[in-house]
Structure 1
Amino acid sequence: MLTLSSNVTLAEWEIDIHQIRAQGAGGQNVNKVASAVHLRFDIHRSTLPRFYKERLLALSDQRITKEGVIIIKAQSHRTLELNREDALARLKALIEEAIKPRKVRRPTKPSKGAKRRRVDDKTRKGAIKSLRGKVSP
């Protein structure tokens, strides 16, 4: 079971992990390749809320196929357990990236209303300054 930061959990049956042995592995990389792991996660079949699924499918990540399957390959560690943990951690990071709320950027240019208010304030201040020192009859 994989628990995400937003109280969303993924069941074990949703994550498909296969131990992969590469063809023609020889030399120094025998142990490393023999412990390689391929993780498959089908977005459409998962129990994630529909909103999160849509966000995941909208991500531009090469690990997400057109069919909506996330494929993560891990073979950087020598033991199978470490590769499995690494693949799960990368899946968790990818899903949390899609789940986290996006920051709303403030517009860089002032709005039309803000420009108008600024001009009005300047005009009012200019009128007040021009009346200083003048005595009314």
Structure 2
Amino acid sequence: MTTPGSDLRVTRRLVIPDAELSERFSRSSGPGGQGVNTTSSRVELSFDVARSTAVPDDLRQRLLARLGHRLAGGVLTIAAGEHREQRRNRQAARERLVTVLREAAAPPPRKRRPTKPTRGAKERRLAAKKRRGDVKRGRSGRYDE
């Protein structure tokens, strides 16, 4: 669980210092009655991926490539306004930021090694096709072979 005021551990290699995160607060929509009109509980958490000193260069390239559609000028912004309390929205935004960065920082999956079907698999496939053809031929009403 991440708490405001402490560094964010995304992976073993990536720990974001609290000083590199910026928060903006605004009035939230949703539940809260008249309190919604007076309290700034919605949080926008921003992290500058492109210029951060905490991100290793090789990881930065991967993050920029995978998060390109979510970045504005190299800055990733996460908004949270689902809770009535600012503290809980700050916590939700930080958790969401960690999740997004962790998924983007994950190494690419291994490349598939192409394989060929075995002789037995080919024979089973052809036998199944033959049976299926026999079933369909039996439906037509013709009984010639």
Would you say same fold, with TM above 0.5?
A: yes
**Is this contact kept in 1: 2:67–2:104, CA < 8 A?**
no
Distance of 2:88 and 2:27 partners within structure 1: 16
Structure-2 change in CA distance of 1:64 and 1:29 (3 Å): farther
Q: CA RMSD in A?
A: 3.1
SS in 2 for 1:81: helix
Unaligned stretches of 5+ residues in structure 2: 1-6, 120-145
Structure-2 change in CA distance of 1:29 and 1:3 (3 Å): farther
2:105 is the alignment partner of 1:99: yes
1:64-75 correspondence runs (5 A): 64-65=71-72, 67-75=73-81
Compute the TM-score of the two structures, normalised by the length of structure 1. Answer: 0.66
**In structure 2, which of residues 20, 37, 45 is the aligned counterpart of residue 14 of structure 1?**
20
- Give me the identity figure in percent: 31
Higher alpha-carbon Rg: 1
How many residue pairs were aligned?
A: 110
Compute the TM-score of the two structures, normalised by the length of structure 2. Answer: 0.63
Structure-2 change in CA distance of 1:50 and 1:7 (3 Å): closer
**In structure 1, which of residues 12, 24, 31 is the aligned counterpart of residue 36 of structure 2?**
31
1:44-59 correspondence runs (5 A): 44-47=50-53, 48-59=55-66
**Is this contact kept in 2: 1:37–1:87, CA < 8 A?**
yes
Distance of 1:51 and 1:43 partners within structure 2: 12
Distance of 2:68 and 2:35 partners within structure 1: 30
